[in-house]
Structures are given as C-alpha cells and as structure tokens.
C-alpha cells in the first residue's frame, strides 16, 4: 500500500510514455501537417488516417494514455 503523500508525488509526474508516443506521432505526421497548412483540401485531410493510421490512433488515444500513465 502506498501512503497518500507517495501517491500525490507520483501523480504529479510527467507521463513520459504518452509524451514520447505523441511526439513520435507528430513527427510522423509533420509532412502531412505542412501540406495541410500550405494548401488545405478535404481530400488530403481524409487521406491522413489512411496513410498514417497508427499516428492518428495514438493522437486520438493520447488523453487516455495520459490518464493511464499519470495515475
């Protein structure tokens, strides 16, 4: 059993696995994001999940990962 002080100090830490996964997903999507910022089209926007499914899934699940690794 952990006492409340240990639990509070542990929950204040940074969720490093979630941060690393999010950064890696953004690095994977950086070219697509640049293309969208230069010239947005719905077609290019809709093809991002088809071409980068893992990166999109990681970004969608980041809040859940953040809660899991912070607690």
CB atoms within 10 A of CB 55: 21
Q: Do 53 and 62 meet the contact criterion of CB atoms below 8 Å apart?
A: no
pLDDT band, residue 65 (cuts 50/70/90): confident
Predicted confidence (pLDDT) per residue in 7-23, tens digit:
555 556 788 989 999 99
Predicted confidence (pLDDT) per residue in 37-57, tens digit:
999 999 999 999 999 999 999
pLDDT of 5 over the 60 cut? no
9/35: higher pLDDT:
35
Average pLDDT over residues 21-27: 95
Round to whole Å and give the CA distance between 45 and 23.
20
């Amino acid at each position: 059993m952990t006492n409340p002080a240990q639990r509070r100090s542990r929950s204040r830490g940074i969720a490093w696995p979630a941060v690393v996964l999010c950064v890696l997903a953004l690095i994977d999507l950086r070219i697509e994001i640049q293309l969208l910022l230069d010239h947005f089209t719905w077609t290019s926007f809709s093809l991002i999940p088809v071409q980068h499914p893992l990166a999109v899934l990681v970004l969608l699940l980041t809040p859940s990962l953040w809660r899991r690794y912070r607690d």
